[in-house]
Structure 1
């Protein structure tokens, strides 16, 4: 929605306006509609605005309250701001605009840090109290909106994007070796507050940061509790909770359709995005949505491929026929990927796990070309409802160790009818059970890691390899709900939100994610695990609840693709270009990678889709990222 930035000099050094302006200028794609600054001696706030609600000048930021005590720079959207505004007006607060930004200021003025628990939305903001000289920064419960920062004890700087922080002369650009190690070996991303840049951190989801009397306080404000039980499945209960889930999701979608600019939807043909599109269609029929901004027919945007193994047009077109929506397609290609890879890396700012990010990049550009400014999509459905095949393994794990053998056998038998395990899923199985297996079998779980070891510089590998066990053991979960929360909501979803934010903001688009409305998430995690996976079906809760909402073809769809791309083919078709990358005399990743080993084994990497080509992609991505930023 916007780009924010700020500098707070604890040593009382006066803020240099030129630095703050450069931090906003480099984020202009995030907010092309307006920009503003507030500088007062040793504090400076900046803002680049993408106007979504109240397009008037009254929404200009940084914004202050009526007496000028509080100043805010904010990125995000508070969906219940009208209710909070009404409550605050009754308490005597005076408003000068119709923006949610002003509601945040007065909510903080009234309730302090407790205001965070009253918000339903996504946010990253900083509030400066000019009277008490306090700086308060916060990020939403699930980390939808980004907040990066630097602090060395003397100077604190923050921004929506890392590249804005790199504009500060007091921040040294330096790769983070530990994060690079975990990326290359395990493809692990966003598992902590660390980034690929040393000394630049991300404020974790559900946390706030507070400076008072020059002392930094960093706290978690959102404490989440989940139901750890498998439970006893009852079909009548499944229907009841399924309907409640759909009702909550429908209200979440309705709240996110509040907009003064055109709205569209991402549509992959999967269960989650299809549900969003069908709910919007239902709201349009019921006059519960803003027809002016959606149009008589909602617009959908999809990435498609000529390869039938990953093309989802038959599912997309099923939803289009069912709803009458206006479809728009884009066909990403490997040729275009290599032409645009440097731009993609620049906007993403950190290495990414696969070329699926490029498919999403194309969808965002397609939406912009068709005049959409806001997009709804289905991110978060897999992480809350156990949508990925790997979560089925976590469920089997829990059933086994809790002695639920009858249910375990039932699920194993049902799995044969609903899903077929892939090599990657078998790999995940060994990874999960690996540390409990006999030593000879345990070696199987290390097979794919050994493939990754070949690409790495042996000196770099030796430096970090001894730390491997302590970093990976914590990922083994014996409980489905815990696995969903820890690896899904706390890590995997953070990465997906990051990709989506940077891809959408590259084209000045705002993306909204109804599946992570906190009311919906808390409801889903309050239920026993048996209502998420049942008789081999993932997302059982959604499938049952959407009985009168989705076509049967979609509701009981078996396969799971996501933003799949023909990654291996794209790599094979650019073999010559890849060789040039690793043969270059200006190769920058020599401290991390073994280019000669990569070249020697290149044909092997290219002939093994998914497993070894993924390792190759990470190596390429790391080198190109280093070239771009160092």
Structure 2
């Protein structure tokens, strides 16, 4: 893994100034690449690179130049099939002076131009500057594992792996984007293409970017097809997935540095470790974390899997006195990020980083194979009911019932139907969006300050999610939900969390279940092999039964969860209160009376507002480190 940065302008710049600027940008990302630093500067471009050496430890320095010195590349990530592509290029008479995948990417671009990205199986963000044609070509991997921020004001273009590096260039006006904040309050993360600042954007996953003197052009190069279903039996699908997963894991074991895995105790990471154990000649180094609180401890399950697979197992108990760690976490995200599982991810990355430089994880199993049944199954049921009743009857009927039905966590679980009634009044896409957000429309209107609502000018976060759902090639509500989760939640939350927390500890994380071939295979599975009779990830469970202890196959999903509601009432009470109610950004967006009511109800145990309160606390922490003053 690495950190990349660059500045391009078509009017010649001062080389000394550009050198200082690009050096400052690269220095902010020292954690991403502690092993080496390189820069390239000409009259129009400055490129910077911080390297974490994984493959080709002695050569492969960047920025790397083509043989004729007209192209220069900065590359972050890994192309796992680079040896296969290299053989093809050698047959075309290309010569190589390193054993790195970076040189393969550069020569692949020379040979196939922008179509080169379709050949790459990996995680990457890179930029190639053509000093002769005065063009920049950049790309991001299919699911957005590696980040790419950019600034463009029509005259100057800057890019980097992290937002703080662009801020170090001194180009941004640092004006908070109210749309980004609205999305953050609804999802807990800021989705593509937004960033917290209105003049900095994110390149979407599976996109290329071309910059010329005529302007900027973005193009999507990969679409995940959920519309072409294969007619497979469970055994046929299991055999094919075994082949794909074996190859995906094998490719991700290529490394010149120590390698291990995360082990949460769930079937996804456990399956990955089981395939690693089959391929590796040495015991796999596995890492997991847990908590003392009842119901938030996967150490026993992870230990059971580790014993079964005979791994070199390491475990760590997280201390709820998390305030100092949370401040560090906020610093590495650069913009507000509210997923509380970032805390255990920080700890497992810190622990793994002491033993290995590369770790494999099980991320992607839920999104690819239908694991989020707590959302998918109700959504499927609601969709079937919508087909029974015409909208002209359904909308007014369930709108009225939903408005009148009590909302009470005190009700028995089987009577908590208000959300379902409200969802039945709207479309599938709107209902899916409703199930994602923290703040439904009525709560949002009551909680937001008038000035903040006015600044949004009618925008709602639905504009970032519903079009993805509506344009999905999925033929059923579960497939459309999966498609949307992969493009939105997984890319902008899960993978952001893993990238920032692993890079904070100079650790590279690889995700076999996100191999694009496995995602394409999973997308084409018939629905009954993913979700049926209240069970999700049916194919993964079937496969896991052949490779793992039977006791873990049907364990409830937990992952790296934390007891956030309890911590906010006890150990983090004062810390959270201070960062929420002393935040000028929070108080400029929220109605103070409503916010105090939410806080009080949570502290009294009358409601669980931990998701929103955690998000507001993290916003306050971000503001303390990056932004002074209220929303502009």
TM-score normalised to structure 2 length: 0.87
Is the CA contact 1:457–1:591 (under 8 Å) kept in the aligned structure 2?
A: yes
Shift of 1:591: 1.8
**Structure 1 unmatched ranges of 5 or more:** 285-290, 404-420
**Alignment of structure 1 residues 411-422 onto 2, 5 Å:** none
Q: Please tell me whether the aligned partners of residues 31 and 508 of structure 1 are also in contact (alpha carbons under 8 angstroms).
A: yes
Residue aligning to 2:276: 280
- Contact 2:469/2:483 (<8 A) preserved: no
CA deviation vs aligned residue, 1:249-271 (integer Å, no higher than 9, x gap): 11101100000001111111011
Alignment counterpart, residue 612 of structure 2, candidates 606, 611, 615: 615
Q: Secondary structure at the match of 1:297?
A: coil
Answer yes or no: is the 8 Å Cα contact 1:384–1:489 preserved in 2. Answer: no
The residue number in structure 2 matching 1:507 is 505
Confirm or deny that 1:303 pairs with 2:289: yes
Partner in structure 2 of residue 435 of structure 1: 426
Cα 1:572/1:281, change in 2 over 3 Å: same
Unmatched runs of 5 consecutive residues or more in structure 2: 389-411, 471-475, 628-632
Separation of aligned partners in 1, 2:605 and 2:445: 16
Give CA-to-partner distance per residue, 1:562-589, whole Å, 9 cap, x none: 22101012111232333333554x7443
**Counterpart for residue 11 of structure 1:** 11
C-alpha contact 1:122 1:145 (8 A) present in aligned 2: yes
Taking a change above 3 Å as real, the CA distance of residues 127 and 427 of structure 1, as seen in their structure-2 partners, is farther
Select 1:43's aligned residue among 19, 42, 45: 45
SS of the aligned residue for 1:546 comes to helix
Alignment of 1:551-566 (within 5 A): 551-557=549-555, 559-566=556-563
C-alpha deviation, 1:120, in angstroms: 0.8
Q: Aligned equivalents of 2:438 and 2:115: distance in 1?
A: 46
Counterpart of 2:224 in structure 1 is 224
**What TM-score do you get using the length of structure 1 for normalisation?**
0.87
Are 1:297 and 1:326, in contact at CA under 8 Å, matched by a contact in 2? Answer: yes
Cα-to-partner distance string for 1:23-45 (whole Å, 9 max, x where unaligned): 00010100000010110111111
Closer, same or farther in 2 for the Cα pair 1:332/1:226, shift >3 Å? Answer: same
Distance 1:434 1:280, change over 3 A: farther
What residue is the counterpart of 1:416 in the other structure? none
Any conservation in 1 of the 2:192–2:203 contact (CA below 8 Å)? Answer: no
Judging changes above 3 Å, is the alpha-carbon distance between structure 1 residues 587 and 4 closer, same or farther for their aligned structure 2 residues? same
State whether residues 228 and 482 of structure 1, in contact with CA within 8 Å, keep that contact through their aligned partners in structure 2: no
Change (3 A) 1:96 1:589: same
Residues 496-539 of structure 1 deviation map (CA, whole Å, 9 limit, x = unaligned): 11111000000001000101111111111122222111222211
Partner of 2:449: 457
Question: Aligned-pair distance for 1:64?
Answer: 1.1
Q: Which piece of structure 1 moves more, 107-116 or 531-540?
A: 531-540
Say if 1:10 and 1:214, in contact at 8 Å, map to a contact too. Answer: no
Of 336, 359, 363, 1:351 maps to: 336
State the superposition RMSD in angstroms: 2.8
Q: Displacement, 1:240? A: 0.8
1:428 CA drift (Å): 6.5
Q: Is the 8 A contact 1:143 1:204 kept in 2?
A: yes
**Is the contact between residue 454 and residue 598 of structure 1 (CA under 8 Å) also seen in structure 2?**
no
Partner residue in 2 for 1:385? 369
SS in 2 for 1:328: strand
Q: Which position in structure 1 is the counterpart of 2:347? A: 362
Shift of 1:173: 1.1
Counterparts of 2:497 and 2:414 in 1: how far apart (Å)? 26
Work out the CA distance in 1 between the residues paired with 2:454 and 2:610. 24
Task: Name whichever of 470-479 and 212-221 sits farther off.
Answer: 470-479
**What number of residue pairs does the alignment pair up?**
589
Q: Aligned in 2, Cα 1:316/1:52: closer, same or farther, shift over 3 Å? A: same
Deviation at 1:492, TM superposition (A): 3.2
What does 1:569-588 align with in structure 2 at a 5 Å threshold?
569-573=566-570, 574-584=572-582, 587-588=584-585
* 8 Å CA contact retained: 1:351, 1:622: yes
